[in-house]
Homo-oligomer: A and B are copies of this chain.
Amino acid sequence: MEKRLITETTARRIVRPRARNTYKGSFGHVLVVGGNDQFGGAGIMSAGAAVHAGAGLVTLATKPVNFTALHTRYPEVMATDYTDQDSLAPLIQSATVVVIGPGLGTDAESQTALTFTLSHLTAAQTVVIDGSAITLLSAEKTPAWPAARIVLTPHVVEFQRLSRLAPADQTPTAIQRYVDTLPTGTLLVHKSDRTTLYQAGAADYAQNTSGNPGMATGGSGDTLTGIIAAFVAQFGWRPDVVAAAVYTHSAVADALARTRYVTLPTMVIDQLPAFMDQLAHHD
């Protein structure tokens, strides 16, 4: 398989100066479904990343125990309870992009929220499926893929659950063979120390050139989901948009790693607006 590289040029082509005549509706509505009692931070980081990466509106559907932490840390994000389907349904419907999985957990409530959310999506929407949501779908005999455009963001172990490929067998060719079994157009972000991007039906794959081992910490993947969602919400659905998000996430961390041993998700979130400005304005 041919390999392309995801570079700063990829990101610069996507992250362009905003048009003057715009308002918050121009930049989409991101809905993140995640954060149970134990993993509240994951949902909060995903939603916070979406706000800082430029989504027009962001809502976090989470367990109510997480509302206060969310409103304190990122008051720009709205909150709802993912176990309250009457509130969740219209939010799914109005979302440009839905992220499901960060810190969602794998109990009955999580399963219900996942099934409900996926079954309410439509073809014009994008869904980013991450973490526990991948684990839950992997446990189904035949995962019920939603009607929306799909981005899957497994790390090596989650991809093993999904594809039954042992880590050592996760070669580009084998990954692509699995991805080709998914709905046409589906993107798969295979997270590793050199993250790769595949599309169902494609002839080549892309490898990210940014990233550093200081990012190897809990929450890094949650943050990536929010950036992908915000990029698709603002810049539209295209493989290059997702590639630009993957690059940006790790490139922000690389900039931080010049002076830091670890580059925590919350640091990456804070630096997104400045980094994206450099992509857009300083050629």
Contact present for A218 and B24 (CB under 8 Å): yes
Given A18-B213, A20-B193, A75 contacting B274 (CB threshold 8 A): no
Question: A68's contact among B51, B72, B219, B262, by CB below 8 Å, is which?
Answer: B72
Question: A41's contact among B39, B54, B77, B192, by CB below 8 Å, is which?
Answer: B77
Is A273 in the interface zone, CB < 8 Å from B? yes
Please name all residues of chain B whose beta carbon is closer than 8 Å to the beta carbon of A204 when the two chains form the complex: none
A–B complex contacts, Cβ < 8 Å, 21 sampled? A18-B212, A18-B261, A23-B192, A23-B193, A37-B67, A38-B80, A39-B78, A41-B70, A44-B71, A51-B217, A54-B262, A56-B216, A65-B68, A66-B68, A68-B72, A69-B72, A71-B73, A74-B266, A76-B217, A76-B264, A260-B277
Q: Which residues of A are at the interface with B, using a C-beta cutoff of 8 A? A: 15, 18-24, 26-27, 37-42, 44-45, 48, 51-58, 64-80, 87, 155-156, 192-193, 212-214, 216-220, 257, 259-267, 272-274, 276-277, 279-280
Please name all residues of chain B whose beta carbon is closer than 8 Å to the beta carbon of A263 when the two chains form the complex: 273
Question: A66's contact among B21, B71, B156, by CB below 8 Å, is which?
Answer: B71
Please name all residues of chain B whose beta carbon is closer than 8 Å to the beta carbon of A70 when the two chains form the complex: 41
Given A75-B265, A263-B273, A214 contacting B18 (CB threshold 8 A): yes
Additional pairs, 20, CB under 8 Å, beyond known A41-B71, A48-B75, A53-B262: A18-B213, A23-B156, A23-B216, A24-B216, A40-B67, A41-B74, A42-B75, A45-B75, A51-B217, A54-B262, A55-B217, A66-B71, A67-B69, A69-B69, A69-B72, A71-B73, A259-B277, A261-B273, A261-B274, A264-B273
In whole angstroms, how far apart are the Cα atoms of A264 and B55 in the complex?
A: 11
Please name all residues of chain B whose beta carbon is closer than 8 Å to the beta carbon of A40 when the two chains form the complex: 67, 71, 75, 79
Contact present for B156 and A216 (CB under 8 Å): no
Please name all residues of chain B whose beta carbon is closer than 8 Å to the beta carbon of A54 when the two chains form the complex: 217, 261-262
Contact present for B216 and A266 (CB under 8 Å): no
Least CB distance from A227 to B in Å reads 12
Least CB distance from A49 to B in Å reads 11
Please name all residues of chain B whose beta carbon is closer than 8 Å to the beta carbon of A79 when the two chains form the complex: 37-41
Please name all residues of chain B whose beta carbon is closer than 8 Å to the beta carbon of A24 when the two chains form the complex: 216-218, 220
Q: Considering the complex of A and B, which 5 residue pairs feature the smallest CB-CB distances, nearest first?
A: A41-B75, A261-B276, A18-B213, A69-B71, A260-B273
